[in-house]
């Protein structure tokens, strides 16, 4: 007898495949390269160095002169060209004394000896307009210095100074410095009793220290202006 073959039908249910777990994408490490500077960086550094140098020049040269006093003097406001010399007494915090170009320096003052002539009042105004005044002579050394400066310039014999006869027989310096008759340098016979001659000049051809002469204010002569030197 033949063996009987039995068939069985087997069915499988469709199952979804197991989910695949994905990790974060792998990040690629950047390659190491030598650090490079922008092309404009050297130019920027050079510009900064140049600005620093300019600032140092301003601080060392310009600022001390501008701040030589709390407020610029009238003389400083009138002139832009100056001549300086190292003549400040030791122990001070500044080492240079300066006068406008063309002026002469003696001790702490600057002097201007004019080449043109004016009357007495015009001479006083001209000095004032330059930030100075007609010279006030207070020592023999100053008198000798001015004589030397005046005699070095030919054809200039008479120079107005800042001494006036305010009232009869009362002489007064333009800056109110007390007049000391024992420190005056009048020529012999001067001042004259003529009170219309109430301005004073230095008469250089006299050849002596005593060379002051009183004159009428309408006469025209050269002049000597004086101002304090600027220290820096």
pLDDT tens digits, one per residue of 125-162: 999 999 999 999 999 999 999 999 998 876 789 999 99
- How sure is the predictor about 43, in pLDDT bands with cuts at 50, 70 and 90? confident
Q: Which residue has the tokens 């009362």?
A: 170
Instruction: Identify the structural domains of the chain with CATH numbers, from first to last.
Output: 74-231 (3.10.100.10)
Token duo for residue 168: 């009869």
Give dist(CA 146, CA 104) in Å, integer: 10
For the chain, state the CA radius of gyration.
46
Q: Which of 202, 111, 114 is nearest to 160 (CA)?
A: 202
Contact 101, 79 (CB under 8 A): yes
Model-wide pTM > 0.75: no
Q: How many CA atoms lie within 13 A of 84 on its CB side?
A: 15
4-26 pLDDT tens trace = 544 445 454 545 555 555 555 55
Distances (CA, A) of 195 to 171, 177, 180: 11, 21, 19
Range from 56-60, 84-88, 91-95, 210-214 that averages highest in pLDDT: 210-214
Taking residue 84's Cβ as centre, other Cβ atoms within 10 Å add up to 16
Give dist(CA 104, CA 142) in Å, integer: 12
| 3-state SS class at 75 | helix
């Amino acid at each position: 007898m033949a063996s009987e073959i039995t068939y069985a039908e087997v069915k499988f249910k469709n199952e979804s495949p197991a989910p695949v777990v994905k990790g974060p994408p792998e990040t690629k490490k950047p390659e190491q390269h030598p650090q490079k500077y922008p092309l404009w960086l050297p130019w920027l550094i050079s510009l900064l160095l140049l600005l620093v140098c300019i600032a140092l020049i301003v601080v060392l040269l310009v600022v001390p002169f501008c701040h030589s006093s709390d407020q610029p003097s009238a003389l400083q406001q009138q002139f832009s060209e100056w001549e300086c010399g190292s003549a400040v007494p030791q122990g001070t915090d500044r080492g240079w004394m300066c006068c406008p170009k063309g002026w002469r320096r003696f001790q702490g003052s600057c002097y201007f000896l004019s080449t043109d002539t004016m009357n007495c009042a015009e001479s006083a105004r001209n000095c004032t307009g330059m930030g100075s005044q007609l010279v006030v002579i207070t020592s023999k050394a100053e008198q000798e210095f001015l004589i030397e400066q005046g005699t070095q310039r030919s054809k200039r014999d008479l120079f107005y100074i800042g001494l006036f006869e305010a009232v009869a027989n009362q002489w007064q310096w333009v800056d109110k410095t007390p007049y000391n008759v024992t420190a005056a340098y009048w020529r012999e016979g001067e001042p004259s009793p003529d009170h219309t001659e109430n301005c004073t000049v230095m008469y250089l051809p006299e050849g002596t220290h005593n060379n002051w002469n009183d004159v009428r204010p309408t006469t025209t002569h050269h002049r000597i202006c004086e101002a304090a030197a600027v220290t820096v």
